[in-house]
A and B are shown apart, each in its own frame.
Chain A
């Protein structure tokens, strides 16, 4: 018989593991990946591969030579960051910029805070914002969706629906005029519109989201509160003046909202720990997104909204505690 082991209880463990969660997210991202490759072709494959490879590479490099600690690149978190970073950039992004993005996402937003579990801001979003500010031209010219295009250069670019909308409204055109050139709901669901690689197909993202809910990787509070807030806010505005504001369904299906609500805001490390906190978090993101969309300088505000709310999360965690057992004793006798 072997030497007995002494440990404290419990002596059994459930089958949850960090790896399972991360690879579950990767699986949930597959539908959106396939849509992206379908509409953007080889360019999409290029950006995805670069983003994933360099995210893993930089994590390995930093862990081996800077931190000189354990190498954890197989836990799946860098893989998720790589895919999400690719989803946040247009498919015609120059390769070297994608690599810089990976370095910012892993090196600055994740590793310098202490690695997995210690970062305050969503790494893929930090990289996206960094790239947007550093390379505004490349980050705001989106290829028109084709059908499995194999060309890597000379893609025809155009604005996203939200960008088109902002410009048009700014130039004084009315909604009725503009909506002729905007995609239909069906097109928005399926992905036939301009946008960053992962943003375009709301349906693919929703499928991924449902998968994650089923596997208990995410809970419903954050996506639902974000989408509901956006819906109500934009609904109120649209009811007041349908010529000036886009309708709520349009707001839900276009831009980076679906991607942000389902995959970016729900990142466990950077979101609140209690359900109440998560609802407030989602409300804040929805509100900020609409404020930026309607009155801000940018056509899309999800990334900024999420990053701003990430900063508030520690405060939310302080304020929202789980319900304690024994707070309400019910009917006591004696």
Chain B
């Protein structure tokens, strides 16, 4: 008797749902991270199917966790064609380690960057620099960013889905989402200090001083200087690396490039640690470990490239 009642109630009050929603949800990664801008994978599926039906487009829909592979599947379910999007990654634009930006004061208190930012400028004195207390680490749901205890700065690994949570969490806007680049290579200015060069350099030896050499040497109009700070537009950058060579403070980073042939000139010490780190990032990527960097600043360039060769032979 109750079975009969239930049957009638179920069929009378049934909510019609486009079966495509279930199909789309099926191919989504079910991380429910919010990286797409929707509150969960189901919401993404509902809205995507709706927009696909009403407007015949999937404009504005991208699942950063699933990436292009998943989006192609979604597109084929709703019967549309979509362009591939360039993968993005979070980039930490500060290199103010203890070696480059020596401590002037010692901080004690709640380990929250949002809190420390309102309390004081930073242990090295740079009020734009990373505080190293890990709000970005707390915000990340993909285990993609960790504070390297030796450097005191966050490092992003391959788990990053560019959802943007760390970008929002950082009170100093140090983290930016940039294109991952071909073969995971990218170039960026690892500094967000907007003070005059002399003032910036006083607190940190690898700060951008806004000298403009990079802007002059760039043939692709990718670099602009604003308020004593250089910025590289990742859409225009062709990864030619000319700016990296001319930067007097080694503020510009090239990530995942093969080390250059050793020059006759002895490289600056700041430069060496920069390149070592780049090598280590490659090694990391190859080993696909989620642990932060392994390097000591003492490693030489040659040993670094040897490591690289060994690891790629594994």
**Chain A–chain B contact at Cβ < 8 A:** yes
Chain A contact residues, CB within 8 Å of chain B: 3-8
Q: Which single residue of chain A is at the shortest CB-CB distance from B103?
A: A3
Q: B97-135, CB under 8 A of A: which get 1 and which 0? A: 000000111111110000100011000000000000000
Contact (Cβ within 8 A) A3 B104: yes
Q: How far is the CA of A4 from the CA of B104 in the complex (A)?
A: 8
**Shortest Cβ gap from A235 to chain B (Å):** 52
B107 and A6 within 8 A (CB): yes
Can you report 24 A-B residue pairs in the complex whose CB atoms are below 8 A from each other? Answer: A3-B103, A3-B104, A3-B105, A3-B106, A4-B104, A4-B105, A4-B106, A5-B105, A5-B106, A5-B107, A5-B108, A6-B105, A6-B106, A6-B107, A6-B108, A6-B119, A6-B120, A7-B107, A7-B108, A7-B109, A8-B109, A8-B110, A8-B115, A8-B119
* Least distance between A6 CB and chain B CB atoms (Å): 5
A5 to B104, CA, bound (A): 9
Report chain B residues within 8 Å CB of A3. Answer: 103-106
Residues of chain A lying within 8 A (CB to CB) of residue B115:
8
CA of A48 to CA of B110 in the docked complex: distance in angstroms? 41
Q: CA separation between A3 and B119, bound complex, in Å? A: 17
* Further pairs besides A6-B119, A6-B120, A7-B107: 4, Cβ < 8 Å: A3-B103, A8-B110, A8-B115, A8-B119
Q: In the complex, what residues of B have CB within 8 A of residue A6's CB? A: 105-108, 119-120
CB closest chain-B residue, reference A3: B106
Closest to B107 in A: A6
CA distance A333 to B107 in the complex (A): 46
Residues of B within 8 A of A7 (CB): 107-109
Report the separation of the CA atoms of residues A7 and B120 in the bound assembly, to the nearest whole angstrom.
9
Chain A residue contacts of B105, Cβ below 8 A: 3-6
- What is the CA–CA distance of A84 and B22 in the complex, to the nearest angstrom? 59
Complex alpha-carbon distance, A3 and B106, angstroms: 7
> Which residues in B have their C-beta under 8 angstroms from that of A4?
104-106
Cα–Cα, bound, A3→B120 (Å): 15
Query: What are the interface flags for B226-250 relative to A under an 8 Å C-beta threshold, 1 for contact and 0 otherwise?
Result: 0000000000000000000000000
Q: In the complex the two chains form, what is the Cα distance from A7 to B105 in whole Å? A: 10
**B108 / chain A contacts, CB cutoff of 8 Å:** 5-7
For the complex of A and B, the 8 pairs showing the least CB-CB separation, nearest first, are: A4-B105, A7-B108, A6-B105, A6-B120, A5-B106, A7-B109, A6-B107, A3-B106
Please name the residue on chain A nearest to B119 by beta carbon: A8
CA distance A129 to B167 in the complex (A): 53
Contacts of B104 in A (CB 8 A): 3-4
The CA of A6 and the CA of B108, in the complex, are separated in Å by 6
Please give, as numbers and ranges, the residues of chain A lying within 8 Å of B106 by CB-CB distance.
3-6
Least CB distance, A5 to chain B, in whole angstroms: 5
Query: Within the complex, what minimum Cβ distance (angstroms) separates A332 from chain B?
Result: 33
Residue of B nearest to A9 (CB): B119
Chain B residues with Cβ below 8 Å from A8 are: 109-110, 115, 119
